[in-house]
A and B are shown apart, each in its own frame.
Chain A
Amino acid sequence: MDFSLTQDQRMMQESLGRTLAEASSLGRVRKFAGDLTDRGDDIWKALADFGLAGMVIPEAFGGLGLTLLDAALASEALGAAVAPAPFLGTVLASLALLRGGSPEQQAQWLAKMASGDVVAVAVISEQIAGARDDAGVVAVGGKLNGKALFVPGGMAAGLLIVADTADRLHLVQGETAGLTRTFMPGLDETRRLTELTFVDVVAEPLGAGPQLLTALRDAGWILIAADSLGASQAMLDRAVAYAKERRQFDRVIGSFQAVKHMCAEMAAELEPCRSLIWYAAYAFDAAPAEASLMAAHAKALTSEVGRFIARTSTEVHGGMGITDLLGLHFWFKRLGLNRQLLGGPERVREIAAKLQGLAA
């Protein structure tokens, strides 16, 4: 029995943190956030060189062949650095091809994805979080019609894995006729959302039933939770550091129990989320029967804790917390997006209840 990270996993996470400190510094993130013509290609290039683009893709296709737990650790590092990177879509699309793609489809795409040359996204929001504004994609006779909202990284995607309203998945090439993309301005400027419109878009079906969408949902929940874990830990670390420096009433404010208890509460809430995310990610590969419930709770609980920490860390920073100067708001908004993406906690908990037969 060993419920801990391996030496390799710890080293990978530390090393990725160093790569991100250079490739996705707060200054670099600021520029990306303020300039829509900045596609962040240099950031993704650095991360692809590190191996993130092929994290779960087998070595035969040029990937690292790692597990979802490794991907979750990477996602945590990305959240900590508020990094603009199409990692979520890349992992989900990789899993879709690995579990539902034909040998030809795998040969055509996986190597290009692993090298970072093709950015892939998963278009599953309507089927998981529910449809807004009449969104939804219908598949008839090998063609897709309808629209899909809230696709992170959708503007630059060269490959799209699209769920239809019957929970089946389809592969769509980026340059296909009838596919249009509209930028959706959002609160979190570190991830750009896209609205996709499909008019008779030619698609290839992926050869797997609705359980493939379930797997993508679970993996998505785990990766988003891990991103929130990293962002929350970064906000907690910043609050503690600030409270140790900032002086009022001739003392550092971190010596006031009113302030240090806020920090203790953040730590006490966050640490169990880390344990839950590790377990859910481990279960995704090693104990599939437990994966969905653990993934749902990881997503829901980390969303709740993330909201608490986003608010509390900002408060510990006092007035500086709400300024652009510190940039704390990048983490605040990142946590806000993660909370809603692929379902807010209320919806995810209702799915958790259904998984156990506790809800109809």
Chain B
Amino acid sequence: MDLNETPEMTAFRGQVRDFLKARRDDYADGAARDPLAWQLLLIEHGYAARTIPREYGGFGAEPDVLKGRIIAEEFIAASAPRGLTGQGISMLVPTLLEVGSDEQKKRWIGPTLRGEIVWCQGYSEPGAGSDLANLQTKAVEDGDDFVISGSKIWTSTAHLAQMMFCLVRTEPQAAKHEGISYVLIPMDTPGIDVRPLKTMTGGSEFNEIFFSDVRVPQSQVVGGRGRGWFVANTTLKHERGMLGDPNATEARLNALIELMKSESVDGQRIIENPIFRDRLMQLQGRVLSMRCNGLRLLTSQITGESAGIAALIVKLQGCELNHQLAALAIDALGELGILYHDGSHLRAKGRWQWNYMFDLGLIIGGGTAQIQKNIISERGLGMPREPKPAVL
């Protein structure tokens, strides 16, 4: 165990810091003045798309977990915006790198990294949530094309996206997991209808998508026809890591501490109330434990060893913790915590209230808490799967 930084890493940290200082006029309040230009600049210096090969539009550095972490830390410290995120960059690009054809990589990765193409993900369906492999959206072969019909749900950014990566059933006769293909669909193809899905937050963070006879060339399949389930699993892995990010949780804890120091009831600051303070300390212990757990995962990435249960629990514990932080913030606000939308007494633009509701969705999405517990007990503890019932 050694958490000290080598001189090489300290020098690299200095480079990142100098870059952010020199470019201070290009961003403010955590946002870039020109997000697309900022993205190009970050790729050019290796602070975005760092390990993606140059021939596909990335920076082409060797994978280095520590340098990645240093970049993240320095950007947070400077309140500088990271490069573009979104499902195209975080999920599709890693998948194409792993299983895409050379032509697919050349065609899609570069424009996606540069922000020229926004993607959405078409996985869940009304009848295929936790049982995702039960998806029924069908793609029927017709000459060189597939003709797609069916519907998808929980599709965030679909209203902004030019493209969708989507799971469809191409082999209806095959076994459940073996008849699925992963296809790339232009969102302007005739027959696609996007309808916003309003949620409890009052916003429409998701959409429903309806396909009627949507025609897509068969060459748009990634990773081979009938291999979609296995292709999708490479991306789900990336999503679960993203949903339990301890850095984001720690930033939220710090905001909560500030809230409890600044808000008061009857002239007493919330932090001076021993019951609220104890609840805060309970959550701080959990946040720190997940930070340390993150250090273990980081080390296992460096050494290539499996992190075992320490990795399997991140989504379950991280999402729950985020939700509890928002819950404590609302309780600390008391009656102020039931305000929403706008108004003179509203705090933090209603962010805690929004988080409290939206984060409940994240506990459910990306594999529900119950599915996570199945994964932990089956893969982590070697417990048997629930047997299929004999009669439905």
Contact = CB atoms under 8 A, between A and B. Distances in A.
Interface of A: 1-6, 69, 240, 243-244, 251-252, 254-257, 260-261, 263-265, 267-269, 271-276, 278-279, 282, 286-287, 294, 297, 300-301, 304, 346, 349-350, 352-353, 358-360
For the complex of A and B, list the 10 residue pairs with the smallest distance between their C-beta atoms, beginning with the closest: A272-B289, A275-B292, A264-B373, A349-B281, A260-B377, A3-B295, A297-B285, A264-B376, A276-B289, A301-B285
Nearest to B295: A3
Contacts of A267: 309, 313, 376-377, 380-381
B373 A3 contact: no
Contacts of B286: 272, 301
Interface magnitude class on chain B: 35 or more
A295 B309 CA distance: 23
Given A255-B387, A287-B3, A358-B271, A3 B289 contact: no
Contacts of B284: 297, 352
Given A300-B281, A358-B257, A254 B384 contact: yes
A4 B277 contact: no
Contacts of A255: 383-387
Given A2-B3, A272-B290, A358-B280, 4 more contacts: A1-B302, A279-B288, A297-B284, A352-B281
A286 B3 contact: yes
Contacts of B15: none
B3 A1 contact: yes
A5 B282 contact: no
Given A252-B384, A260-B374, A350-B278, A268 B288 contact: no
Interface string B248-291: 00000000010001000000000110100110111011101110
B173 interface: no
A5 B370 CA distance: 31
Contact of A275 (B281, B296, B373, B383): B296
B299 A2 contact: yes
A9 to B, nearest CB: 8
B5 interface: yes
Nearest to B277: A353
Interface in B65-84: 66, 69
11 contacts: A2-B3, A2-B302, A240-B382, A240-B383, A264-B377, A264-B380, A269-B317, A273-B289, A279-B292, A297-B289, A300-B281
Contact of B278 (A254, A265, A282, A346): A346
Contacts of B5: 1
B384 A257 contact: no
A269 to B, nearest CB: 8
Contacts of A349: 278, 281-282, 285
B235 interface: no
B2 interface: yes
Contact of B298 (A3, A301, A352): A3
Contacts of B90: none
A358 B277 CA distance: 8
A273 B309 CA distance: 12
B289 A268 contact: no
Interface in B126-148: none
Interface of B: 1-5, 9, 66, 69, 257, 261, 271-272, 274, 277-278, 280-282, 284-286, 288-290, 292-293, 295-296, 298-300, 302-303, 305, 309-310, 313, 316-317, 370, 372-374, 376-378, 380-387
Given A243-B383, A255-B383, A265 B373 contact: yes
A244 B378 CA distance: 11
Chain B at the A interface: SS class:
helix
Contacts of B9: 1
Given A265-B373, A268-B316, A4 B299 contact: yes
Contacts of B302: 1-2
A271 B383 contact: no
Q: Name the residue among A5, A252, A254, A275 with the largest chain B CB count within 10 angstroms.
A: A275
Contact of A271 (B69, B272, B293): B293
A261 B373 contact: yes
A228 to B, nearest CB: 14
B310 A271 contact: yes
B376 A268 contact: yes
Nearest to A2: B2
A5 B305 CA distance: 12
Contacts of A271: 293, 309-310, 313
B67 to A, nearest CB: 11
A109 B86 CA distance: 63
A260 B292 contact: no
Contacts of A240: 381-383
Contacts of B370: 257, 261
Nearest to A250: B387
Q: Name the residue among B292, B293, B296 with the largest chain A CB count within 10 angstroms.
A: B292
Nearest to A268: B313
A120 B317 CA distance: 40
Contacts of B377: 254, 260-261, 263-264, 267
B301 to A, nearest CB: 11
Q: Name the residue among B1, B4, B300, B373 with the largest chain A CB count within 10 angstroms.
A: B1
A1 B298 contact: yes
Given A1-B2, A297-B285, A350-B274, A275 B299 contact: no
